[in-house]
Amino acid sequence: MPDCPFCRMVAGEIPADVVHDTERVLAFRDINPQASTHVLVIPKEHHPTAGALAEADPALMGEVVAAAHAVARQEGLVAGDGAEPGYRLVANTGPAAGQTVHHVHLHLLGGRDLGWPPG
């Protein structure tokens, strides 16, 4: 997708602070962080939303979630098999959720009390 910023990032045309890189998944720090850990986890292949990706390639969606968990562990957010201190994964989908980049990305947020429900 020529005008997609995240496809351009995968292609190396836009710089990224990469924290995790596998054959099919890339994770990098958000340019406008909302928590001390704010990482975006994406499939390298372009899909518009998490739901569309899960329908098209459920195994790849699983790889994206597993990569997010690996980054959370790297960031000190996963203690053993428990959830302490924990983290949040968010997949904004469509205008009501404020999705601005139409290449699926999971926001991995952690390092502060995240509150619930979100605003």
Residues classed as catalytic: 105
Residue 7 site contact among Zn ion, ligand 5GP, none (CB < 5 to 8 Å, cut-off depends on kind) = Zn ion
SS3 content of the chain, % helix, strand, coil (to 5): 30, 20, 50
Q: Which lies closer to ligand 5GP via its Cβ, residue 19 or residue 60? A: 19
Q: C-alpha distances in angstroms, 66 versus 80, 98, 119?
A: 15, 24, 26
Binding site for ligand 5GP (CB under 6 A): 5, 14, 16, 28, 30-32, 40, 92, 98-101
- Amino acid letter, residue 91: A
Residues 97, 90: contact at Cβ < 8 Å? no
Contact code string over 34-63 relative to Zn ion, x by CB under 5 A: ------------x-----------------
Q: Which lies closer to ligand 5GP via its Cβ, residue 7 or residue 70? A: 7
Burial environment of residue 68 by CB neighbours within 10 A (0 to 12, 13 to 18, 19 or more): buried
Q: Which two tokens stand for residue 44?
A: 């390298």
Residue 117 site contact among ligand 5GP, Zn ion, none (CB < 5 to 8 Å, cut-off depends on kind) = none
Q: Which lies closer to Zn ion via its Cβ, residue 46 or residue 69? A: 46
Residue 66 site contact among Zn ion, ligand 5GP, none (CB < 5 to 8 Å, cut-off depends on kind) = none
